[in-house]
Structure 1
Amino acid sequence: MSASDEDHMAQALLLARRGLGTTWPNPSVGAIVVAPSGEVLGRGWTAPGGRPHAEAIALEHAGAASAGATLYVTLEPCAHAGGRGPACADAVAKARLARAVIALRDPDPRTDGGGVARLLEAGIEVREGVLAEEACAVSLGHFMRVSEGRPAVVLKLAVGSDGLVPKGNGAPVWITGPDARAHAHLLRARCDAIMVGRGTILADNPSLTCRLPGMACRSPVRVVLDRRLRTPPESQIFDDLMVPVWLVCAADEEHPNTDALQDRGAEIVAVPVDEHGLLALRDVLETLAHRGLTRVLVEGGPSVARALLDADLIDEAVIYRGPEPAGAEALKPFVTEGLDRLTGSGHFTQVQSRAFGQDRMTWFRRKARCSPVLSPT
């Protein structure tokens, strides 16, 4: 007995997750070609840098056996040709598939239903909306970049049993154990960039790289919010020249440290300030999206977390809670407010909870972010 459409789409989603953090500016997509017997003929996920696409890889693996088979793909095949290959919808049509099962339509105006139309014109039966909600979670960054012009924002917090954030003193202070910290590094690997404020650089002097064994190459772009460009050039963040550092500063201001920071490998990104003279966070995120980023992990301090929450710019929050209190000098996660500011707001829903030894991870997602694309058609 062949597996159900949902089972095969779940496999395609696992493949799509493999590419997260490596495919920007394109979304990470997973695809599987399945014969009528249920045999998997080909698998693929978006290659690093965004090309080739998942469908092209899966179809190449399947070869001539694709005729009469079913394609399972987590996002509608693109209807626009890129610089390194034809439109995926045309490649799928040429393969003479019998069916195509698609989790979500692509909101990119260059496709947005055009890929489905081409498949139907080629006589391919199309089923849409299979595991759409799960696919939306994988493609959230792409949807946010297309619909709101900014990347998806994932806030990461590590707190003690008292719900407070430990205060750094020139080096990182761990409140959770090694397993929880390893999971946090996996988050880094699955995001295009990690963003902090200058205060985090001063307090913790972090490297902000992915330090899982064999995954250093998956380290995301390091983004530092530094309005006046006062990040010390000797900071550890500049020691790894293979991972980009983008310093986001205020436009139309003099920055005497520019040359010294550029000598250390930093790229300077200027953005407008708001009415309070602070970096305009929506403009920051729109600038990052314009540069191709789709998912940004925020590990900044309470000030950055509160500013993003106040501006309604947090899409997901991952909270790690250790078994011991953070201490008398600990900080509230949102400057003057505790975790309830987010978890009790009614705007987020808990989607996952997991133990790592004595530590507990809870994952929250902003409600209704992808609601227009969740209804099967």
Structure 2
Amino acid sequence: MRRALDLAARGLGSTSPNPVVGCVILDSAGRTVGEGWHQRAGGPHAEVHALAEAGDDARGGTAVVTLEPCDHTGRTGPCTQALIAAGIARVVHAVADPDPGAAGGARTLAAAGIEVEGGLLGDEAATGNAAWLTAVRLHRPHVTWKYAATLDGRTAAADGSSRWITSEEARADVHRLRAESDAVLIGSGTARADDPHLAVRGVPGAVQPLRVVLDTEAAAVEPGARVLDGAAPTLIAVAEDADTAALDTALDGAADLLRLPRATDGASGASGSSGSGIELSALLSALYERQVRSVLLEGGATLAGAFVRAGLVDRVVGYLAPVLLGAGPPVLAEAGISTIAQALRLSVSDTVRLGPDLRITAVGHTAPTPTAATATEES
């Protein structure tokens, strides 16, 4: 199963809006005879790839798969029927399929006389499929907030200079995060201050994520902005009542424009000088409708604070450099937390050294579980 999990991870960034899935086929003597993973949405599922590699050796063997085999026909046929036809005698899966449109695979396999076991390394498999499970359960994308800071929590010096706080190794790892995400999101402040490119570099075969700029007043993205260079698709989100005449000229067909309602309850982001920010839940809903299942939030402290305040951060990835500044902008702005009792408590899931820096990954306590779900999977 651990090998199947490793295989599944190879699909991160290329299978959305479907889950990542890995499969290992063992012959009747327990030897590995086939491996596969879901490589792209609309393509063969992991089980089909693994069975093709195993051939006749699959008969009487075991399929070890990270997600319960699907039992429906979408752009591909049901994996249950492929396993039955191959003569598989036993199926071990990590996470039950929560999608009512695709679930029931275990029942179908059992009815065909196949021994079925579920739950092996279920928590780890659910973590690997956090984006898809979040989308199924909440009908919105999974949000990862990424930041880079000094040990004393500063993202720039007092004069605004910030290049480079973290090392080349840490910056390369950020491109890996982008490659695993469906969309990368910043606010108007970051767009003005940094003119970031937001595309993936240095990751062979990466599918470029959707670049999203939350530009409430339609005033931050100017002609020649790097996000308009065509290296990746771009979406500019503005308030529904914003004057977009200048922005329309700047875009000149290089990006899509999305109009969204202004926030009325404080759960907003990227506010401009003349009004409140955009309703973040509406933004995520619009991205969900565009098949976005994972968002990498790379905006500054204000936008991050708005997402935290709205309860819309599922995972935090912090890159900490062994540097002290003493002054300068903090990592996180006002987030609706006024007392220690209101502090958002996270669980550290991973710590990794990257050159001189430390990457810390933490998740909230509302992370998706293997049993949580209500929506349908796209196949």
TM-score normalised over the length of structure 2: 0.88
Which of the pair has the greater relative contact order for Cα pairs under 8 Å at 6+ separation?
2
Fraction of identical pairs, as percent: 35
Summarize the Cα distance change of 1:190–1:372 in structure 2 as closer, same or farther, 3 Å threshold: closer
Gaps of 5+ in 1: 1-8
For the pair 1:205 / 2:195, whether they are aligned, the reply is yes
Between the aligned partners of 2:290 and 2:139, the Cα distance in structure 1 is 11
Between the aligned partners of 1:210 and 1:67, the Cα distance in structure 2 is 42
Native 8 Å contact 1:168 1:204 kept in 2: no
2:376 equivalent in structure 1: none
Tell me which amino acid in the other structure corresponds to 1:227: T
Summarize the Cα distance change of 1:340–1:79 in structure 2 as closer, same or farther, 3 Å threshold: farther
Tell me which amino acid in the other structure corresponds to 1:22: S
1:119-130 matches, cutoff 5 A: 119-130=109-120
SS of residue paired to 1:48: coil
After superposition, the C-alpha distances for 1:215-241 in whole angstroms (9 at most, x for unaligned) are 5x43311111112222112111112x1
Tell me which amino acid in the other structure corresponds to 1:88: C
Between the aligned partners of 2:142 and 2:305, the Cα distance in structure 1 is 17
TM superposition shift of 1:14:
0.6
Between the aligned partners of 1:157 and 1:279, the Cα distance in structure 2 is 22
1:235-254 matches, cutoff 5 A: 235-239=225-229, 241-254=230-243
2:94 equivalent in structure 1: 103
For the pair 1:38 / 2:27, whether they are aligned, the reply is no
TM superposition shift of 1:254:
3.8
1:109-120 matches, cutoff 5 A: 109-112=100-103, 114-120=104-110
Tell me which amino acid in the other structure corresponds to 1:359: D
1:3 equivalent in structure 2: none
Summarize the Cα distance change of 1:34–1:169 in structure 2 as closer, same or farther, 3 Å threshold: farther
Between the aligned partners of 1:334 and 1:356, the Cα distance in structure 2 is 23
Larger helix proportion of the pair: 1
For the pair 1:302 / 2:293, whether they are aligned, the reply is no
- Please, which of 335, 351, 356 is the counterpart of residue 353 of structure 1? 351
Between the aligned partners of 1:77 and 1:290, the Cα distance in structure 2 is 25
1:267 equivalent in structure 2: 256
1:67 equivalent in structure 2: 59
Summarize the Cα distance change of 1:340–1:334 in structure 2 as closer, same or farther, 3 Å threshold: farther
1:132 equivalent in structure 2: 122
Between the aligned partners of 1:350 and 1:49, the Cα distance in structure 2 is 31
1:312 equivalent in structure 2: 311
SS of residue paired to 2:184: strand
Tell me which amino acid in the other structure corresponds to 1:156: K
TM superposition shift of 1:124:
1.0
Q: Which range is displaced more, 101-110 or 224-233?
A: 224-233
TM superposition shift of 1:306:
0.4
Summarize the Cα distance change of 1:165–1:90 in structure 2 as closer, same or farther, 3 Å threshold: same
SS of residue paired to 1:103: strand
Native 8 Å contact 2:123 2:370 kept in 1: no
Q: How many residues align structurally? A: 360
- Please, which of 73, 77, 101 is the counterpart of residue 69 of structure 2? 77
Tell me which amino acid in the other structure corresponds to 1:207: H
Between the aligned partners of 1:371 and 1:86, the Cα distance in structure 2 is 26
Native 8 Å contact 1:170 1:203 kept in 2: no
1:49 equivalent in structure 2: 41
2:277 equivalent in structure 1: 278
Native 8 Å contact 1:165 1:326 kept in 2: no
2:272 equivalent in structure 1: none
1:183 equivalent in structure 2: 173
Between the aligned partners of 1:340 and 1:99, the Cα distance in structure 2 is 54
1:27 equivalent in structure 2: 19
Native 8 Å contact 2:155 2:162 kept in 1: no
Between the aligned partners of 1:302 and 1:116, the Cα distance in structure 2 is 46
Native 8 Å contact 2:93 2:118 kept in 1: yes
TM superposition shift of 1:191:
1.1
Tell me which amino acid in the other structure corresponds to 1:244: P
Q: What is the aligned-residue RMSD (CA, Å)?
A: 2.5
After superposition, the C-alpha distances for 1:23-51 in whole angstroms (9 at most, x for unaligned) are 11111111111113232221111122342
TM-score normalised over the length of structure 1: 0.89
For the pair 1:158 / 2:148, whether they are aligned, the reply is yes
Native 8 Å contact 1:160 1:321 kept in 2: yes
